[in-house]
Structure 1
Amino acid sequence: MNRYSFVTRMPDKPGALHCAAEIIKSYSGNINRIQYDRRIDPATVFFEVTAAPETCHRLKEDLHAIGYLQETLPTLGFLKFSVYLPHKPGALFDLLTYITGAGANIAYIDFDDRRSDPGRVTISLNVEESAIVENLLDRLKSRYRLEILEYDTTGERLDDTVFYVRFAQAVRGLIGSAEDGFLLSLLHDVNHIVQELQSLGQDPREVFECILITGRTLRETTGEGFYADVQRIRISDAVEVFCFQMPGGGNIFLLRGPGEAVMVDTGYGIYHQDVVQMFQHYGLGDLRKIRRIYITHADADHCGAGGLFEAEAYMHTGSLEIIRQANRAYGSRSESSILEEVYTTIINLFSHFAPPESPELFPEGGVGMRSIFPILARFTVHDLEFEVLESLGGHLHGQVYFLCPEHGIIFTADTLINFRSLDEDRRRYNSLADFLVTSVNVDSDLARTERRALLELIAELDEELALTGRRCLVACGHGAISVLSEGRLEATGPVERYQPKGGRGS
């Protein structure tokens, strides 16, 4: 027995849902999940069913035969117009006959003969083919005085009687061409996250809007809309670190030494071309010099462009498994969370996820301890020696930190974030993920423990480095490179805004 999911569109009449359930029962199918909310879409019902492969195929055929099974996502248009009817019996009936005969579906109608223009009828239609619109308008113009109020073929003006079709068209606009089967599968996943958040008291429309805002933000902050906040700090006589704060998601760090550059985290894949152009602006354009990429964890904003560089990538085995499972909660106590699994699908899609394909993995076991964190390995960048510290898995299973105690810099991934250094747009974008998964940490208790331990470790390093007049640099997963000041992260050094030539605001 396997589990299958499908989407249905049912007529708005008593017994429609019962009819579908009867078909599923007749093939010994077991309904594992069903979701229908008339407030969102009065016709669309989502099913997950356990059945034998051969019987599932047959029950889908039966649903298809009665017109219930949704297998395509038509590109619908929206037409709103007014006509002026003669004041006589049957006038409205004749108009509706024309509309029905053209195959159009009425979404809205407004008529009241007590108004100052008593013959005026305003109608909105959802239409699948432009030919239907043209044919209908030609027929109406020959008979009535006609005013076209709105005509939209993008799907943006569709009403809620086809909410999921409208949402799918919006997603298609964000990701480009996509097969209907893929979008229907995505709709099923999105509906599942909506169902879960509704059970937690969230407004379903806010869920849909957050998903679309996530995609729009990423698309709108590429090309001319791209920008970054940049720090450049010398760590030793031979090595300097660049911190690039992306418009959305995590930081990219570049350690530049003689003859080689080493990257820590990659940002989203969707920003790759903009990042390459930015590197050129800062004299880092020879990508052949980027020979190694060290990944802190498997979220798309930290590893999602790793496969687009010709460099050896290094990560924890847990990060590789998260990428393979397409579930950011893999390996944690939240692993079964549908919110985490579906969010991973959505963000990977919108961000053009392209992680490293065959990364080198840090060895398991460890070669020692640093505070509460196992030291998995060590690596050097010219005269800097780094320890790879294994986290407890509070933010994500397989997350690691990179610490150079001698020269005083630690890459903390998302365990430490300088929120005060984030601009309003970045704060707003980061809040979307918090809303959709309720917490970006897969284990909040462990995340708090990790944070306390890192802050204590940084404070201890500060005491040691004070003898040489230096501070430990905290390279956060988001926000500016900082130092610890009275228990709080404070941005250090100048931060400049980068925008491409011809970009907005440049």
Structure 2
Amino acid sequence: MEKFSFIAHMPDEPGSLHRAAEIIKKYDGNINRIQFDRRIDPGTVFYEVTADAESYSRITRDLADIGYLQTSLKPLDFLKFCVYLPHQPGALYEFLSYTTSAGANIAGIDFDDRGQYPDRLTVSLNLEQSAVVNKLLDQLKSRYRLEIIEYDKTGKHLDDTVFYVRYAQEVRDLIGESEEAFILSFLADTNHIAQDLMARGCDPRQVFESVLATGRTMNATTGNGFYADVQQFCITDKTTLFCFQVPCGGSIFLIRTPDEMVMIDTGYGIYHNDILAMLSRYDVGEMKKLSRIVVTHADADHYGASGYFSVPVLMHEDTLEITRRNNRAYGSRSEDSVLEAFYTRMINQFSRFRTPPAITCFSRPSGTTRGIFPVIGTIHIGDLDLEVLDGLGGHTCGQVFLYSRLYGLLFAADSVINFGSLTKERADYSSLAAFLVTSVNVDSERAKQERKALLGLALETDQELAKSGRRCLICGGHGAVSVLENGKLVAYGKIERYEAGNPA
């Protein structure tokens, strides 16, 4: 027995759901999930069933025979026009006979004989084939005076009676043309998280809009829309640290020495070309000096561009496993969450995630600890030695932290973030993820433990460095590099704005 999913598009009439259930029952299929909401789309129903392969084949065959099985979500043509009808009984009935025979779905109709245009009927139609549009127009033009107001073949002006077709077209606009099977699967997955979040009191339309807003925001901040907030710090006479806050997602860190450069986190893959252009502006664009990339955790905004570089990538073994399973909640109490699994697939698709060709995993804990964190390796970069600390799995399993007590550096990934340093645009984008997964941490209690222990480590380091007048720089996964002031994170040093559209 296997679990299968499919989408049915049924006539909006009594008995349709019962007829489909009868077919599933006939072949001993067990319905695991069903979702239908007239407020979203009056004819689309989502199913997951358990059956053997032969029974599932017969179920889908019978559903297809009665026109219920949906195998495509190609954009419909949208046609809006005015037609002038004679004032006589049956005029509207005769007109509608033409639209019905053409298989047109009326999205809107407007007529008032006491209005400004008493003989004019305005009609909006959704049609499946361009050939049908031409045939219908030829029929109507030979019978009525006709004025075309709008004819759209992109699917962007469809009304809410074909909500899922319109949604699928917007997904195509974000990721490019894709196989119908992928689009249908993506739609079914989005519907599944909408169903989950509806049970928690959320508006289903907000779910679909948040998914689209995630992709739109990324796309809008590439090319001339790309920007970053940049900080530079001289760590030693030979070593410089750069922090690049890109528009969406995590910060990118670069450590430059005379002999090499090491990148810590890469940002989204969709920003790769923009990032290379930015690095050139700051005289760190000589990629042949890039020797390694260190990935703090598996989220696409920290890891997704690593496959665009041809250098070794260092990460935790659980980060590699998350990549293989395509589920950021792997290894946590949230592993079976529909929300987490969908979000991982969605964000990887929108952000153009690319897996690196050469991966090296850190060692397992050997017994050495730094506070509550096991030490699982050391990274040597010029005259810096950074301890690799194994996290507790609060934000994601496999998240690591990098630490130098001697030079006062703590790369805290997404366990310590100066939220006050985030711009409104970055905060708004981050809120989309928080809404779609309800919490960005796969284990909130462990996340609290990690944050408390890391801040304690930073404070302890600050106290040791005080004699030399230096500070512990906290490099959070998002926001500005910061220091602790009276227990609060405060942005440290100068922050410079880089704008791709500004050549200065």
Counting only pairs closer than 5 Å after superposition, residues 435-474 of structure 1 correspond to structure 2 as 435-474=435-474
Give the residue type in structure 1 aligned to 2:488: R
Give the residue type in structure 2 aligned to 1:121: L
In the alignment, structure 1 residue 234 sits paired with structure 2 residue 234: yes
Give the residue type in structure 1 aligned to 2:175: I
> C-alpha distance in 2, partners of 1:393/1:11?
48
Name the residue aligned to 2:416: 416
Give the residue type in structure 1 aligned to 2:79: L
> C-alpha distance in 1, partners of 2:234/2:74?
56
Name the residue aligned to 2:301: 301
Q: Is the 8 A contact 1:240 1:257 kept in 2?
A: yes
In the alignment, structure 1 residue 362 sits paired with structure 2 residue 362: yes
Kindly provide the CA deviation profile for residues 283-332 of structure 1, in whole angstroms up to 9, marking residues without a partner as x: 11221211111110000000001111011111001101111111111101
Cα drift, residue 237 of structure 1? 1.2
> C-alpha distance in 1, partners of 2:286/2:495?
23
Q: Is the 8 A contact 2:226 2:501 kept in 1?
A: no
Kindly provide the CA deviation profile for residues 107-140 of structure 1, in whole angstroms up to 9, marking residues without a partner as x: 2222233334322212110012223223323332
> C-alpha distance in 2, partners of 1:453/1:249?
24
> C-alpha distance in 1, partners of 2:129/2:41?
21
> C-alpha distance in 2, partners of 1:358/1:258?
24
Name the residue aligned to 2:381: 381
C-alpha spacing 1:367/1:381, structure 2 compared with 1 (3 Å) = farther
Name the residue aligned to 1:142: 142
Name the residue aligned to 2:339: 339
TM-score normalised per structure 1: 0.97
In the alignment, structure 1 residue 209 sits paired with structure 2 residue 209: yes
Counting only pairs closer than 5 Å after superposition, residues 50-65 of structure 1 correspond to structure 2 as 50-65=50-65
Q: Is the 8 A contact 2:80 2:125 kept in 1?
A: yes
Kindly provide the CA deviation profile for residues 201-258 of structure 1, in whole angstroms up to 9, marking residues without a partner as x: 0000011101000000011111111111111111111111110101000011000011
Question: What secondary structure, in the 3-state scheme, does the structure 1 residue paired with 2:431 have?
Answer: helix
Structure 2: where are the runs of 5+ without partners? Answer: none
Question: What secondary structure, in the 3-state scheme, does the structure 2 residue paired with 1:352 have?
Answer: coil
Cα drift, residue 501 of structure 1? 4.4
Question: What secondary structure, in the 3-state scheme, does the structure 1 residue paired with 2:250 have?
Answer: coil
C-alpha spacing 1:276/1:116, structure 2 compared with 1 (3 Å) = closer
Q: Is the 8 A contact 1:232 1:241 kept in 2?
A: yes
In the alignment, structure 1 residue 268 sits paired with structure 2 residue 307: no
Q: Is the 8 A contact 1:366 1:377 kept in 2?
A: no
Cα drift, residue 155 of structure 1? 1.5
Question: What secondary structure, in the 3-state scheme, does the structure 1 residue paired with 2:333 have?
Answer: coil
Q: Is the 8 A contact 1:109 1:124 kept in 2?
A: yes
Counting only pairs closer than 5 Å after superposition, residues 315-326 of structure 1 correspond to structure 2 as 315-326=315-326
Name the residue aligned to 2:4: 4
Question: What secondary structure, in the 3-state scheme, does the structure 2 residue paired with 1:301 have?
Answer: helix
> C-alpha distance in 2, partners of 1:22/1:100?
29
Kindly provide the CA deviation profile for residues 441-466 of structure 1, in whole angstroms up to 9, marking residues without a partner as x: 11111111111111111000000001
Name the residue aligned to 2:219: 219
Q: Is the 8 A contact 1:164 1:187 kept in 2?
A: yes
Q: Is the 8 A contact 1:288 1:310 kept in 2?
A: no
> C-alpha distance in 2, partners of 1:332/1:23?
38
Kindly provide the CA deviation profile for residues 149-192 of structure 1, in whole angstroms up to 9, marking residues without a partner as x: 33222222111111111100000010001011110011110000
> C-alpha distance in 2, partners of 1:400/1:366?
15
Kindly provide the CA deviation profile for residues 341-360 of structure 1, in whole angstroms up to 9, marking residues without a partner as x: 00111101100011324410
> C-alpha distance in 1, partners of 2:27/2:102?
38
Tell me which stretches of 4 or more aligned residues in structure 1 moved more than 3 Å: none
Question: What secondary structure, in the 3-state scheme, does the structure 2 residue paired with 1:267 have?
Answer: coil
Cα drift, residue 98 of structure 1? 2.0
Percentage identity across aligned positions?
Answer: 58
Question: What secondary structure, in the 3-state scheme, does the structure 1 residue paired with 2:244 have?
Answer: strand
Give the residue type in structure 2 aligned to 1:411: F
Between stretches 256-265 and 150-159, larger displacement belongs to 150-159
> C-alpha distance in 1, partners of 2:345/2:497?
31
Question: What secondary structure, in the 3-state scheme, does the structure 1 residue paired with 2:121 have?
Answer: strand
> C-alpha distance in 1, partners of 2:333/2:101?
57
Name the residue aligned to 2:199: 199
Name the residue aligned to 2:433: 433
> C-alpha distance in 1, partners of 2:105/2:334?
44
Name the residue aligned to 2:177: 177
Name the residue aligned to 1:112: 112
Question: What secondary structure, in the 3-state scheme, does the structure 1 residue paired with 2:183 have?
Answer: helix
In the alignment, structure 1 residue 189 sits paired with structure 2 residue 189: yes
Question: What secondary structure, in the 3-state scheme, does the structure 2 residue paired with 1:336 have?
Answer: coil
Kindly provide the CA deviation profile for residues 462-499 of structure 1, in whole angstroms up to 9, marking residues without a partner as x: 00001111000011100011111111111111111112
Cα drift, residue 420 of structure 1? 1.2
RMSD: 1.3
Cα drift, residue 502 of structure 1? 5.6
Question: What secondary structure, in the 3-state scheme, does the structure 2 residue paired with 1:235 have?
Answer: strand
Cα drift, residue 103 of structure 1? 3.0
Give the residue type in structure 2 aligned to 1:420: G
In the alignment, structure 1 residue 245 sits paired with structure 2 residue 245: yes
Question: What secondary structure, in the 3-state scheme, does the structure 1 residue paired with 2:93 have?
Answer: helix
Name the residue aligned to 1:88: 88
In the alignment, structure 1 residue 493 sits paired with structure 2 residue 459: no
Name the residue aligned to 2:48: 48
Q: Is the 8 A contact 2:305 2:354 kept in 1?
A: yes
